Structure 1
Amino acid sequence: MNSVSVRALLIRGMFAGLLAGVLALAVAYFLGESRLDAAIALEESHAHTHTHEHGEELVSRTMQATGGLATGILVFGVAIGGIAALVFCYALGRIGAFGPRATAALIAGAALLTVYVVPFLKYPANPPAVGDPDTIGQRTGLFFLMIALSVLLAVAAVLAGRRLAQRLGNWNAAVSAGAGYVLAIGLAYAFLPSFDEVGADFPAGLLWQFRLSTLAVQVTLWTTFGLAFGYLTERLLVGAGAAGQAAPRGAGVGAGVAH
């Protein structure tokens, strides 16, 4: 079987991440920035002396909404694309009889769920004027802790599912491992502190529009990455030679990735 270098997959992962970042940037700009501007206007209307106390902004709002936003999302897209490509190198052929596109889609979906959706449900994004400035450090730390717990528990669930499959079968093992993950996340939700710092005068509609726009950015990013990376890797791996078809059942293309 022909070997495919990790470097080739890594480059395609980063390119797919860049493409996903471009589309996510469009969603963030056209869907999220208007909500952010509205929240900033509310914040400034409740702080009459804000401008006099802090003086001129170091970075203008225009730069934040254009260059700053683009840099952050595009760099993030390339970074997660490279990381996901490395995960793909390990996962292909080891998580079932899935082809490159299906494996890429599963990785993207799992990343969206574990890295963003699960932490988001516990600690959703807040626009300006929402939240106590004195707790922002604690809230940020807990959000990243929730990400770490979610990822580690997901990895543990996958490993447990593989072991249970020998005794329970693939379907029952997957259900059992998934139930264990949900239970563990539920316990984390219950024991980690929560924050309810939304003021009574802040429009509920604007709050949820802002939160849904941040969720839409992540859904766009990971969905685009999964589709683009799956397409690119399938072309690469199929083009690497027909020897992949002669590989033993279950070995998968991932077993032939050269390190």
Structure 2
Amino acid sequence: MNSISVRALLVRGMIAGLIGGALAFAVAYLLGESQVDAAIALEEAHSHAAHGGAAEEELVSRTMQATGGLATALLVFGVAAGGIAALVVAYALGRIGRFGPRATAALIAGAALLTVYVVPFLKYPANPPAVGNPDTIGKRTTLFFLMVALSVLLAVAAVILGRRLAPGLGNWNATVVAAGGFILVIGLAYAFLPSFDEVGKDFPATLLWKFRLSTLAVQATFWTGFGLILGHLTERLLTPVAAVRRENEGAAA
């Protein structure tokens, strides 16, 4: 793929990420914010019962947090993640089998959802307000991003391993071996990295479950929307070029 196509694909990836971020915001606002409000109310009730007195004045209103703040965060994340993923798609086209632009974009989006969010989420799931020790926020955040980096690097290593084993074992067996290695090393990371169980006994389990499912739904919506939109835009970008190239080659022949 030439540099013009890479630049064009990067722009389309950012556009797809922007649209995916808008879809994720809609899901987060409709599904997640009610869980956050319930958790905040629970936290404030416990704080009043323990300390009494008036609540602290908010620097940013809850309405602004749930609308403008949330939208800005997801849209910026969408543009940044979309641009990076589009570069990965540009590199992967034609290198991971006989997949067209739509299938390649869908595979990369699915792999990103798995490695960037699902694998770290299973070890360090998201917590709503009123859950977790404030003194461990820094450590938990660091470990979460360490898990993200480890998951991405291991996924890349699994792809490389699968490609090298394919000539001798066949595509299916090589894929099984590479996936098994990925799962094994991730399992060891789960076992040896520290865990945190900071959910209070009085915190409603249903609220915690709904909150975590909503965060998973937000990420699933973003990466699904991104993959479908980028696949469509990539196909429209590359298919006419391929058709013209075939016509030129036929004329030259």
Shared fold by TM > 0.5? Answer: yes
Deviation, 1:243, is 5.0
Normalising by the residue count of structure 2, what TM-score does the alignment of the two structures yield?
0.93
Deviation, 1:56, is 1.7
Note if 1:174 corresponds to 2:211: no
2:131 counterpart SS class = coil
- Stretches of structure 1 that go unaligned for 5 or more consecutive residues are 247-259
2:164 counterpart SS class = helix
- Stretches of structure 2 that go unaligned for 5 or more consecutive residues are 248-253
Q: Which residue of the partner structure matches residue 210 of structure 1?
A: 211
Q: 1:243 to 1:96 in 2, by over 3 A?
A: farther
Higher relative contact order by CA 8 Å / sep ≥ 6: 1 or 2?
A: 1
Normalising by the residue count of structure 1, what TM-score does the alignment of the two structures yield?
0.91
Deviation, 1:57, is 1.2
Q: Which residue of the partner structure matches residue 199 of structure 2?
A: 198
Output the amino acid matched with 2:131: V
- Return the alpha-carbon distance in structure 2 between the equivalents of residues 204 and 55 of structure 1: 27
Q: 1:3 to 1:16 in 2, by over 3 A?
A: same
Percent identity for Structure 1 against Structure 2: 77
Note if 1:222 corresponds to 2:223: yes
1:215-257 per-position Cα deviation (integer Å, ceiling 9, x unaligned)? 00000000000000000100110122415668xxxxxxxxxxx
Output the amino acid matched with 2:157: A
Q: Which residue of the partner structure matches residue 59 of structure 1?
A: 60
- Return the alpha-carbon distance in structure 2 between the equivalents of residues 51 and 244 of structure 1: 74
Query: Are the equivalent residues in 2 in contact too, given 1:17–1:81 (CA < 8 A)?
Result: yes
Query: Are the equivalent residues in 2 in contact too, given 1:100–1:230 (CA < 8 A)?
Result: yes
Query: Are the equivalent residues in 2 in contact too, given 1:44–1:50 (CA < 8 A)?
Result: no
- Return the alpha-carbon distance in structure 2 between the equivalents of residues 244 and 3 of structure 1: 17
1:199 counterpart SS class = coil
- Return the alpha-carbon distance in structure 2 between the equivalents of residues 187 and 159 of structure 1: 20
Deviation, 1:6, is 1.1
1:46 counterpart SS class = helix
1:171-222 per-position Cα deviation (integer Å, ceiling 9, x unaligned)? 1111100000000000000000111110000000000000000000000000
Q: Which residue of the partner structure matches residue 133 of structure 1?
A: 134
Output the amino acid matched with 2:146: L
**Aligned-residue CA RMSD (Å):** 1.6
- Return the alpha-carbon distance in structure 1 between the equivalents of residues 162 and 56 of structure 2: 57
1:240 counterpart SS class = helix
Q: Which residue of the partner structure matches residue 24 of structure 2?
A: 24
1:25-82 per-position Cα deviation (integer Å, ceiling 9, x unaligned)? 0000010000000000000000014874x73211111110010000000110111110
Q: 1:206 to 1:167 in 2, by over 3 A?
A: same
Q: Which residue of the partner structure matches residue 253 of structure 1?
A: none
Q: Which residue of the partner structure matches residue 85 of structure 2?
A: 84
1:149-192 per-position Cα deviation (integer Å, ceiling 9, x unaligned)? 00000000001111001111111111100000000000000000
Q: Which residue of the partner structure matches residue 41 of structure 1?
A: 41
1:95 counterpart SS class = coil
- Return the alpha-carbon distance in structure 2 between the equivalents of residues 51 and 112 of structure 1: 44
- Return the alpha-carbon distance in structure 2 between the equivalents of residues 238 and 226 of structure 1: 17
Output the amino acid matched with 2:179: G
Deviation, 1:23, is 0.7
Q: 1:88 to 1:201 in 2, by over 3 A?
A: same
How many pairs align? 245
Query: Are the equivalent residues in 2 in contact too, given 1:3–1:240 (CA < 8 A)?
Result: no
- Return the alpha-carbon distance in structure 2 between the equivalents of residues 140 and 42 of structure 1: 23
Deviation, 1:5, is 2.0
Output the amino acid matched with 2:28: A
